[in-house]
Amino acid sequence: MKTDKLVKDFRGIKCPINFAKTKLVLSGMENGDMLELYIDDGSAIKNLPGSVEKEGHKVLSREEQGDGSWCIVIEKG
Amino acid sequence: MKTDFTDSEVERYARHIILKDVGIEGQLKLLNSKVLIIGAGGLGSPAALYLAAAGIGKIGIADGDVVDLSNLQRQIIHTTGDIGTPKTLSAKDKMLAINPDIEVVTYNEFLNASNILDIVSNYDFIIDGSDNFATKFLINDACVLANKAFSHGGILRFIAQTMTVIPHQSACYACVFDSPPPPNSVPTCSQAGVLGTVAGVLGSIQATEAVKYIIGKGELLTDKLLIADMMSMDFDKIKFKKNPECRVCGKEGITKLSDYEQRICEV
């Protein structure tokens, strides 16, 4: 099965706008597609992955970047 | 029809979009929906403000009155500076100030049997924020004929009542009350008074019913009359069934509109 990986940078976008934008991006993807998402430290990394999982998607990895921001990879569920 | 969001819309509606039961789909339904509010008074004020904020794409507001100083204790969409201005225009100003992306249509007239059907037919859901039994029964009749869902609301002193009607599926206002009470058997608000916040609570409940109907989620107040006594804070729901013999929506229901005897009361 073909999977696409989309990259989005939501650093600097505050909660919960970053989650609303993530929902919109995910709604345009197919099940199984991957989203590589860059988000801020603090409330973004604390809240967003859990919120995404509650919507039925999988957070496959979360990795701190050198600058304190985070990269998370989401599989659309 | 709207199928996508601008950046500012994502931000404006973020707290709806992140709600599982509203989400992207629900917010798009709201943006593409049309709601008519009859009466820009105590009930219509909070309903209009919240529905504008919610991004209802087109909101109609009907009222033939001008803003009076004695309205301001409860009709929170109007301000002291609006005294003397038609209520529809005053309401439109505030709704667009909250949300310039919506369309507001004003009907600066009192609705009657000859104009209500055409107006109601342009909307998906109607909010009864009227202040007299004649209009309440007329709204019910028009919505049954036009097959439009609506929220009935009434307030007096510290008590509020509301029910939601989906014509031909759930009990209509006349299934429950049949016809207006005899003159002077029920005191009007101008005779008896009403607590301003009671109007605020009920108008907000009616707006909530409109939103739930449009997004197709939750349980509506259909076949139920909610009676809220805000002195004791008792909220009771009384169950009703559609009356097959109802003079309005029953087997031999109405086929055309006529006006009820009008007795004006200021809500």
Q: Do A23 and B24 touch (CB under 8 A)?
A: yes
pLDDT band at B129 (very low <50, low <70, confident <90, very high): very high
Percent of chain B surpassing pLDDT 90: 90
pLDDT of residue B191: 75
User: What kind and span of H or E run contains A9?
Assistant: strand A5-9
Whether A4 shows a pLDDT value over 70: the answer reads no
Contact map slice: A 37-76 vs B, CB within 8 A: 51, 54-55
Question: Which residues of A are less than 8 Å from B6 in CB distance?
Answer: none
B33-239 sits in which CATH class? alpha beta
pLDDT above 80 (res B259): yes
Would you please indicate which residues of A are annotated as catalytic (active-site) residues?
15
Torsion angle (degrees, nearest 10) of CA B138, B139, B141, B142: 110
User: Model pTM?
Assistant: 0.94
Domain tally, chain A: 1
pLDDT, tens digit (0-9, with 9 covering 90-100), for B197-215: 999 999 999 999 999 999 9
Mean pLDDT rounded to a whole number for chain B: 95
The shortest C-alpha distance from B17 to chain A (Å) reads 6
**Distance (Å) from the alpha carbon of A54 to chain B's nearest alpha carbon:** 9
- The pLDDT of B169-195, averaged and rounded, is 87
Please name the residues in contact with A67: beta carbons below 8 A apart, sequence gap of 6 or more. none
Mean predicted confidence (pLDDT) in B68-89: 98
For the question of residue B189 being annotated catalytic, the response is: yes
Dmax over CA atoms of chain A, in Å, equals 36
Query: Is the Cβ pair B5, A24 closer than 8 Å?
Result: yes
| pLDDT score for B266 | 44
- Residue B11: list chain A partners with CB under 8 A: 17, 20
List the catalytic residue out of B143, B175, B189, B265: B189
Q: Alpha carbon of B177 to those of A61, B44, B136, B163, B220: distances in Å?
A: 61, 22, 11, 12, 19
The C-alpha angle B241, B125, B187, rounded to 5 degrees, equals: 65
Residues of A in contact with B10 (CB under 8 A): 17, 20-21, 24
B28, closest residue in chain A (CA to CA) = A24
- Whether A27 has its CB under 8 Å from any CB of chain B: the answer is yes
- CATH code of A36's domain: 3.30.110.40
| B14 interaction partners in chain A (CB closer than 8 Å) | 16-17, 19-20
ipTM comes to 0.88
pLDDT digits (tens, 9 = 90+) for B117-127: 999 999 999 99
| Domain range enclosing A45 | 5-75
Average pLDDT over residues B253-267: 78
B14 with A20: CB under 8 angstroms?
yes
The shortest CB-CB distance from B23 to any of A16, A23, A51 is to A23
Q: Give the Cα separation of B116 and A56 in Å (integer).
A: 46
Beta-carbon separation of B11 and A17 below 8 A: yes
Q: What are the start-end ranges of the E strands in chain B?
A: 34-38, 58-62, 103-107, 125-128, 149-156, 159-165, 224-229, 234-239
pLDDT in tens, B53-64: 999 999 999 999
- Cross-chain Cβ contact A24/B13 below 8 Å: no
* Rounded Cα–Cα distance for residues A42 and A39 (Å): 9
Residues of B in contact with A19 (CB under 8 A): 14, 18
Q: Shortest Cα distance from A62 to chain B (angstroms)?
A: 21
Residue B1 has pLDDT above 90, yes or no: no
